[in-house]
Amino acid sequence: MKNLLGSSIKDLENVALNYGQAAFRGRQIYKWIYNYRNKKKNIDQIEVLPQDFRNKLRNDGFKVSELRLQEKNLASDGTLKLLLATEDNESIECVGIPTEKRLTACLSSQVGCPMDCKFCATGKEGLKRSLKASEILDQILFIENEMNRKVTNIVFMGMGEPLLNIDDLLLSIRSINDDFQISQRKITVSTVAVPKMINKLSKKSFQILGNCQFTLAISLHASNQKTREKIIPSAKNYEIKKIIEDSKQFVRDTGRRVSFEYLMLSGVNDKLEHAIELSNLLKGFQCHVNLIQYNQIDDVEFKRASLKNLQLFQSRLSNNGIAVSLRKSRGLDKNAACGQLRQNARKK
């Protein structure tokens, strides 16, 4: 299938020229695809193009969108969660998180996830497949269309492990940067951390993008190896100290600060002794810690840490010289946790 989403102006000019059309027809397709106000997703609906050109594109299998809206949930704080169906009848989630000045799109990179993190609804069903770059980009268009706003920031924190789909991840970032006009500095790639893949990410970023200016966010969630293995089974293959070494190398290679995501789980990783241990682990290099409130899900043993523990933990890190912030959860009244909407839909 030939999906035009993710194509550059030059790509689309060449498509037009290959069909005997003037190059400006390709530029017309480009403007039509990446206009967030355009809710039409069918090539037949590109009315600025001659009908015979549209017919040829359609008959030759060209498309703009392969996803369809299956379900949407709007939370009281304005957060919009979408369940999108793929052509092979799988489903993925994406989220639009609005503030007054920003619209952040939380995107999925895979159908399901192989990492089996014990606190996550997505991992409960395993990995089905990775998403194509066009399927990643289509999530942005759905969020923009539904919220009638241009996305300003991107976080790859939805379903899946982005570093296990690294080529399509980087191809989508190229298009997000060039075609959606969103700076790499407003893009965050979140990973549980896969052996050797952090180094590969920086290397391939320079090959595919020419630079590496997005933020790498590592889902650490623990201050020691034993605790991390308890909540992230795949951690047994990647020692926490080695993750820190590879993160330091990423900073040296790219000049970009690494963020560490730390999900606060009551009685598991939220004690002051953990804060001290985390401080010792991270001291001495360019990084930042995001403390995250847990979105509880059914059939999972973990509970949200108290606000008091969160604040004490944050204070201890800050006093120990670690840059830290507290990220509040959004959309709590509408299946906020990653994978919940998909899981609930399957139960219906």
Residue type, 177: N
Q: Are residues 173 and 196 in the same domain?
A: yes
Q: Is the pLDDT of residue 298 over 70?
A: no
Structure tokens at 147: 């919220």
Exposed / middle / buried, residue 146 (Cβ in 10 Å: 0-12, 13-18, 19+): middle
Q: Are residues 14 and 153 in the same domain?
A: no
Q: Are residues 141 and 175 in the same domain?
A: yes
Q: What is the CATH number of the domain that holds 327?
A: 3.20.20.70
Which pLDDT band, with edges at 50, 70 and 90, does 135 fall under? very high
Q: Are residues 89 and 51 in the same domain?
A: no
Which pLDDT band, with edges at 50, 70 and 90, does 96 fall under? very high
Q: Identify which of 64, 63, 107 has the alpha carbon closest to the alpha carbon of residue 84.
A: 107
Q: Are residues 222 and 84 in the same domain?
A: yes
Domain span holding position 210: 68-347
Q: What is the CATH number of the domain that holds 56?
A: 1.10.150.530
- Give CA–CA dist 151/320, Å, rounded: 36
Q: Is the pLDDT of residue 286 over 80?
A: yes
Q: Are residues 137 and 173 in the same domain?
A: yes
Structure tokens at 91: 């489903």
Q: Are residues 10 and 130 in the same domain?
A: no
Which pLDDT band, with edges at 50, 70 and 90, does 185 fall under? very high
- Give CA–CA dist 249/68, Å, rounded: 40
The answer to whether 113 is a known catalytic residue is no
The answer to whether 93 is a known catalytic residue is yes
Residue 40 confidence (pLDDT): 77
Q: Pick the catalytic residue: 13, 93, 144, 161? A: 93
- Give CA–CA dist 18/56, Å, rounded: 11
* Residues pairing with 81 in the sheet: 73, 95
Q: Are residues 149 and 224 in the same domain?
A: yes
Q: Pick the catalytic residue: 94, 106, 117, 338? A: 338
Q: Are residues 100 and 118 in the same domain?
A: yes
Domain count, the chain: 2
Question: Could you read off the pLDDT of 102-124 as tens digits, one per residue?
Answer: 999 999 999 999 998 888 887 77
- Give CA–CA dist 172/187, Å, rounded: 11
Residue 26: alpha-carbon gap to chain centroid: 29
- Give CA–CA dist 170/93, Å, rounded: 19
What's the whole-model pTM score? 0.91
Q: Are residues 36 and 128 in the same domain?
A: no
- Give CA–CA dist 326/263, Å, rounded: 10
Structure tokens at 96: 């639009």
Q: Are residues 54 and 153 in the same domain?
A: no
Q: Are residues 275 and 133 in the same domain?
A: yes
Q: Give the mean pLDDT of the chain.
A: 92
